[in-house]
Amino acid sequence: MLSYRHAFHAGNHADVLKHAVLAAMLDYFNQKDKPYWVIDTHAGAGCYQLDTGFAAKNAEYESGIARLWDRDDLPALLKRYVELVRAINPDGGRKLYPGSPLIAWNILRADDRLRLFELHPTDIKLLQQTFEGAARRVQIQQADGFAGLKALLPPPSRRALVLIDPPYEVKEDYRHVITALKDALQRFATGTYAIWYPQLQRHEVPAMLENLKKLPVKEWLHVALDINMPSPDGFGMHGSGLFILNPPWTLHAMLQEAMPWLVATLGGEGANYTLEKSEG
């Protein structure tokens, strides 16, 4: 199935959480001189128009990034994220929103590399346009990121952050996440892996989280943002989360500061957050 288009949801509450955490992790990676790779298994279009097209139709960014735009009390995690979004809107407006690949690109250094997978025939063309002229540092493949990940691990520098954020259009994606990670950890046990997931009322979500906690890593971190109570009919996404294997040690404290602020700023009735980590 290739019906999912992230443009409908660009800049929403899930993007705020995912991209703020992504930026924090890459800033941590930059503290060492040794180069690294960022691998995005489901890259999307790379950049999105907020004032026209799909994003303007649903305007989900109005309850996401727009609520942070003019705030002067942003926690450090979110301040850095908003700076990155502002950087691609130099006129001060909210016209463009960077997807995960462009967030990463604007943090990576000259020796770091970006490896992107995308299957959708329209989004792959947009992704290629976004990174036109950057071929030496960016490789883009129209392929299944779950399968393509195998050929990239371990990276030459033995440093990498892997972002896995499928659309979960089909329930098999939950199983594919675990299968891909088991294989990835055998090839590259010290990599940092960030798995995004939607908060939905379906049994596959808690089952996947339990399986993630059983993977053979020394440390993991789990953060989730519920922006409202689940709907009575059981439909719709009421939040999102990130499960991170081998996370930066500084990330937990940054999230402790940022998550209550996000709940108050983006949340409605029943909003809450989860923040937990391994005991090791």
Give the CATH number of the domain where residue 102 resides: 3.40.50.150
1 within a domain of the structure (yes/no): no
Flag whether pLDDT at 257 surpasses 70: yes
Flag whether pLDDT at 258 surpasses 90: yes
pLDDT at 5: 54
pLDDT at 55: 53
Query: What's the domain count of the chain?
Result: 1
Flag whether pLDDT at 205 surpasses 60: yes
133 within a domain of the structure (yes/no): yes
Tokens of 270: 């029943």
What is this structure's pTM?
Answer: 0.95
The C-alpha atoms of residue 91 and residue 100 are separated, in whole angstroms, by: 22
210 within a domain of the structure (yes/no): yes
User: Phi/psi class of residue 11: alpha, beta or left (left: φ > 0; alpha: ψ in -120 to 50)?
Assistant: left
List, for residues 112-129, the tens digit of each pLDDT value: 999 999 999 999 999 999
Flag whether pLDDT at 6 surpasses 80: no
Residues recognised as catalytic: 165
With pLDDT > 90 as the criterion, what percentage of the chain qualifies? 82
Across the range 69-92, mean pLDDT stands at: 95
Sequence letter at residue 260 = P
223 within a domain of the structure (yes/no): yes
Residues in contact with 42: Cβ distance below 8 Å, sequence separation at least 6, in sequence order: 117, 118, 145, 164, 165, 166, 167
pLDDT at 56: 55
User: Phi/psi class of residue 270: alpha, beta or left (left: φ > 0; alpha: ψ in -120 to 50)?
Assistant: left
Question: In 3D, which of 195, 191, 233 has the Cα closest to residue 42?
Answer: 195
149 within a domain of the structure (yes/no): yes
CA count, 13 A, side-chain hemisphere, 152: 26
- Domain encompassing residue 48: 6-277
Q: Give residue 237's Cα distance to chain centre.
A: 16
Four-CA torsion 114, 25, 241, 86, nearest 10 degrees: -80
Q: Measured in Å, how far apart are the chain's first and last C-alpha atoms?
A: 39
Question: Mean pLDDT for the chain?
Answer: 92
List, for residues 129-165, the tens digit of each pLDDT value: 999 988 789 999 999 999 999 999 999 999 999 999 9
Q: How many CB atoms lie within 10 A of CB 17?
A: 29
The C-alpha atoms of residue 50 and residue 60 are separated, in whole angstroms, by: 9
pLDDT at 277: 97
